[in-house]
Amino acid sequence: MSQIDIAAALREKEREEDRIFQRTMHEDTLFNGRLNFFLVFESLLIAAGAALFAAGVRPHPWVFVGLAVFGIIVTWLWRYTQLRQLTLLRALIDELEEFAAEVKRVERRARGKVEHGMRTGSVLAVWVPWLVLALWVAILIAALSEIR
């Protein structure tokens, strides 16, 4: 191989690394944007339910059943989209680690520092939606118990 061929191969490797890095940043932005959207949307739904509950004139319990079922559906969609995005993001990070040794070193060091071994992405994509889902199920059970 000539020096020109080696230089061209190195430039192509750098371009590929840059494309993977840019895609990783894009997917991370999507992950966080969707997380923010669903958190705000769920908060507004819960606030709407609380406002209805606190109102002087109580609506029929079926209103709360409908709100809870809608909340459960939205939470399930939230969990699905976040898990899908997290899987793609982790695959891109693994791919990036193959190109950039410093990414692998930082990941290794960070994993050694975590006390409980739970990754932030897992908490945001799995545990938070499950907690919100549990809240909606509790609201649904309470609303169904009011129906006579």
Calpha distance 62→45 (Å, rounded): 16
Number of H helices, E strands in the chain: 5, 0
| % of the chain at pLDDT higher than 90 | 37
Calpha distance 14→100 (Å, rounded): 10
Question: What pLDDT is attached to residue 70?
Answer: 96
Question: What pLDDT is attached to residue 127?
Answer: 87
Tens digit of pLDDT for each residue in 34-51?
999 999 999 999 999 889
Question: What pLDDT is attached to residue 57?
Answer: 76
CA gyration radius, the chain: 23
Tens digit of pLDDT for each residue in 49-70?
889 888 877 788 899 999 999 9
List own/partner pairs for 63-68 with CB under 8 A and 24 or more apart. 64/139, 64/140, 64/142, 64/143, 64/146, 65/140, 65/143, 65/144, 65/147, 67/139, 68/136, 68/137, 68/139, 68/140, 68/143
